[in-house]
Structure 1
Amino acid sequence: MFKALVVLLFISHIFSAYAYDRVSGKLFASRSEVYGQNGMAATSHPLATQTAIDVLKKGGTAVDAAIAANAMLGLVEPTGAGIGGDLFAIVWDAKEKKLHGLNASGRSPQSLTLTELTKRGLTKIPSFGPLPVSVPGAVDGWYELHGKFGNLPMAELLTPSIHYAKNGFPVSEVVAHYWKLNAQRVGHYDGFADTYLIDGKVPKTGDIFKNPHLAATYEKLATGGRDAFYKGDIAARIAAHLKEQGGFLTKEDLASHTSEWVEPVSTNYRGYDIWELPPNGQGIAALQILNLLEGFDIRNMGFGSTEYIHTFIEAKKVAFADRAKFYADPAFNNLPVESLISKDYANERRALIDKKKAALSVNAGPVDGDTIYLTVADKDGNMVSLIQSNYRGMGSGMVPPELGFMLQNRGELFILDPSHYNTYAPGKRPFHTIIPAFVTQNGEPWMSFGVMGGATQPQMHAQILINMIDFDMNVQEAGDAPRVIHSGSSSPTGGMMISGGKVHIESQIPMQTKRELIDKGHKVEESIGVFGGYQAIRYDAERQVYIGASESRKDGYAAGY
């Protein structure tokens, strides 16, 4: 009897070990890291990752593969991407050992004025319909990237997406979930059913979906280039549909669109140079958060601790007060970017963080002045960090007939207060939420990464880096680790106050930590679906190896060869 009991306990111990211990990675990690010597791709959908790897194997550059993957995502993940939206990218050029930034966001209609919007009694631009539509910049972004860093013909990069658009693909699980939600919000608009439903029904997981209209559009781009989109039949159809729906975007708005090459901006966090793009995006908020947190001993606080989470949330509030006031189109404003991301400014603003209680509001500082993410690296050491979306899932609900895509609703993010930096104006780029990121160390690439998720992205950028730099997580663990997101409203006028807001917290954070945060004055709630989707490629310069990661919150994966 005693021997049987010993054997039973031993077996129980073995099964317990396999149930709770991992051979590699922390308990919350969904899998091990992915290694490759010649190339790496990490996207939110398997077909996009496969497409990118195929392009790399054919001799395509990292940018070639990223464009091909982005085109595929516009087909297989229309809930987060598409050529009706905008694009931003950071490219590491291995020959020059230099980062290049591309802002491929579109501008507001020239014929729509602030007077017209306020005359309609609007206090904000609607989320859906024709009014929030701005020029889609993604296609021009593809051709700008390809012209500077591409190798294979654009027609070859679009061929895989054309094939699957014509022949169909099985809808993946996470995409199916968001497809249903988008249909509930914008499914009543003209053109949605014809483009996005199967026999009048929303595609479910595993259903075979085809988009022949998008295939035809991609074929026009393959033969006619970017002008086929901005000056040809596609532009005419977009303009005609919006006019019919009561919109203002015209063929002239599309024909005059241009992207802009910009210099990425950076701060150093504990020996690592973190790079983001300057406004009209929100990337510098991540730099501001990291500058504030550098003054605290984050490592000794411990991951998931009450002290760390509280300090992080309070730093976010301080940075986002500035974000609410200053982040806008630099072509219309003299933005104090250099001051906002300086260490001196962070040292001043750090005093606003109370270690014992949550701030209910924070003033902006006294200075003048839904989405997909993917990353690819090639055999020559080039890397690209690319993010692209329509906003609010599929976008505005405006689906021009027989084109296969929906137009974005980024114009919603304009403010209708004429005194605000981000006030609406004709031909202006709205404040933007999507941000690619890059990290270098000692002048060499260290990591290309991004996290989709709207306004929460700067918080998640900072958390990923803190997980790796302060808490010694690997590139996969850093993305799978439970996250905390603070959401708070902002006043569009005056001092830019950020309310106390809510702390959205994933279930793996201990209940005791949640109770202690509530004791400090935070409004805490467990949430799902607000924590984004992360992809990353880290480069081991010593061994010349790429290390990829793609988290479990999305359908995709990282692959190398």
Structure 2
Amino acid sequence: AQNGYPISPTLGQYWQLGYNKFKETLSGEEFTSWFKTFAPDGRAPKIGEIWRSPGHADTLRKIAETKAESFYRGELAERIDAFSRQCGGHLSKDDLAAYAPEWVTPIRVHYKGYHVWEIPPNGQGIVALMALNILKEDDFLAKESVDTYHRQIEAMKLAFVDGLKYVTQRDQMKVTVEDLLSDQYGAARRALIGEEALMPEPGEPVRSGTVYLATADGEGNMVSFIQSNYMGFGSGIVIPGTGISMQNRGHTFSLDPNHHNYLEPGKKTYHTIIPGFLTKGDQAVGPFGVMGGFMQPQGHVQVIMNTIDFHLNPQASLDAPRWQWIEGKIIEVERDFPEHIALALERKGHQIKWGMGPGGFGRGQIIWRTDDGVLVGGTDHRTDGTVAVW
């Protein structure tokens, strides 16, 4: 932040798109600080150009020196509160002071000899687990097979519509995580998959802007970590002089009072960012993640199946062409997706759209530990990530 960072290719592309969008849509004094911080020369920084943000550097020093007290109860909290009130916002210093991190127990499903772990709701990791729970009884003999893609897509659609209906803050969900991940419910959803593309509907279980990184060390410690402002640059509100860009993670809620995900004070509504983890027996295999909004659980399912069903190494698992369910029967596929399979999927009733670039198909990272204790990493070619070893 202090000395500058050279803008990398993928970052530069999205920065320019964000700038273009904000230039067209944001007006008013409350957004002036965003442009001063992220477009200091009246434009987005160019690829390869050094960008500096001394406000960020000063903020990070204050957070470090006060052990985060400045952000939650001190000077930074006061500045956030003041600018929020100036802009007609609702975030107050009392909200910041009342915040406490939540330690949660991850949720999991057993998939063909492995356990796949995700963060529980309000995150959407359960969507990936529901899809894998539907697919776990199938034997996939070939990756590049129309039947493989068809069943993956159908399972993903069924899991997603359930997630979009039921997922919210866990203690306010009207169905339990255990019900959604039960063998019985997985089997019932699996039975709906036929030869033709279906129009997905939520089931009725029995009642009882993102950065991902992974790291591991030689002592067996592993971390799966994800953070996001959402929608690229978040809300467009930057606290003057601090570099703090206010996020937009509360976006995915409903204003229908009858919806499971209805917005209420203090409630953590549906959240898209989900770090993943894989274990076998009582041993950690490693962390994995695919960032990218609603592509995330779809990317998790594809990466895990590439690893377990098709025995691809981490880099090949990430490099494989991807698809994503958009809505109804609409499936978007990458430009290098096999055309003959796309045509075969259309014959099954799927509506295929060809993606214009890699941006919408997620950007992932993986570290697996082999039986011999060797750490093997992969980084997505769709982003500026790298595998660093020391």
Q: What's the TM-score bracket when you normalise by the shorter of the two chains?
A: over 0.9
8 A contact 1:349–1:365 mirrored in 2: no
Match of residue 187 from structure 2: 347
Q: Trace 1:46-445 onto structure 2 (pairs within 5 A).
A: 165-187=1-23, 188=26, 189-298=31-140, 300=141, 302-354=142-194, 356-368=195-207, 370-445=209-284
Counterpart code for 1:442: G
Q: How much does 1:325 deviate?
A: 1.2
Structure 2 distance, partners of 1:245, 1:266, is 42
- Give the counterpart of 2:307 among 468, 491, 494: 468
Q: Structure 2 vs 1, CA of residues 369 and 401 (structure 1 numbering), >3 Å: closer, same or farther?
A: farther
8 A contact 1:304–1:509 mirrored in 2: no
8 A contact 1:333–1:369 mirrored in 2: no
Q: How much does 1:335 deviate?
A: 4.2
Rg: which structure is higher?
Answer: 1
Structure 2 distance, partners of 1:242, 1:539, is 46
8 A contact 1:417–1:423 mirrored in 2: yes
Counterpart code for 1:345: Y
Structure 1 distance, partners of 2:132, 2:34, is 42
Identity in percent: 42
Structure 2 distance, partners of 1:362, 1:206, is 47
Structure 2 distance, partners of 1:258, 1:472, is 41
Structure 1 distance, partners of 2:129, 2:173, is 21
Structure 2 distance, partners of 1:376, 1:470, is 24
1:544 maps onto 2:380 in alignment: no
SS at match of 2:137: coil
Counterpart code for 2:217: D
Any stretches of 5+ residues in structure 2 without a counterpart? none
Any stretches of 5+ residues in structure 1 without a counterpart? 1-164, 489-498
Q: Which runs of 4+ in 1 moved over 6 A?
A: none
Structure 1 distance, partners of 2:168, 2:57, is 35
Q: How much does 1:369 deviate?
A: 6.7
Structure 1 distance, partners of 2:230, 2:208, is 28
Structure 1 distance, partners of 2:74, 2:22, is 27
Structure 2 distance, partners of 1:221, 1:250, is 18
What TM-score, normalized by structure 1, do the two folds share? Answer: 0.67
8 A contact 2:124–2:167 mirrored in 1: yes
Deviates more, 1:425-434 or 1:184-193: 184-193
Q: Trace 1:508-527 onto structure 2 (pairs within 5 A).
A: 508-527=336-355
Q: How much does 1:431 deviate?
A: 0.9
8 A contact 1:439–1:447 mirrored in 2: yes
8 A contact 2:180–2:205 mirrored in 1: no
Structure 2 distance, partners of 1:307, 1:264, is 31
Structure 2 distance, partners of 1:519, 1:379, is 50
Structure 2 distance, partners of 1:287, 1:552, is 25
Counterpart code for 1:181: L
8 A contact 1:186–1:396 mirrored in 2: no
Q: How much does 1:421 deviate?
A: 1.5
Counterpart code for 1:552: H
Structure 1 distance, partners of 2:198, 2:369, is 39
8 A contact 2:165–2:202 mirrored in 1: no
Structure 2 distance, partners of 1:176, 1:547, is 29
SS at match of 2:377: strand
Match of residue 531 from structure 1: 361
SS at match of 1:482: coil
Structure 2 distance, partners of 1:369, 1:277, is 21
SS at match of 2:47: coil
Structure 2 distance, partners of 1:460, 1:365, is 25
RMSD: 1.3
Provide, for residues 433-461 of structure 1, a one-character-per-residue CA deviation record: whole Å limited to 9, x for no partner. Answer: 00001111110011210000111111110
Provide, for residues 36-94 of structure 1, a one-character-per-residue CA deviation record: whole Å limited to 9, x for no partner. Answer: xxxxxxxxxxxxxxxxxxxxxxxxxxxxxxxxxxxxxxxxxxxxxxxxxxxxxxxxxxx
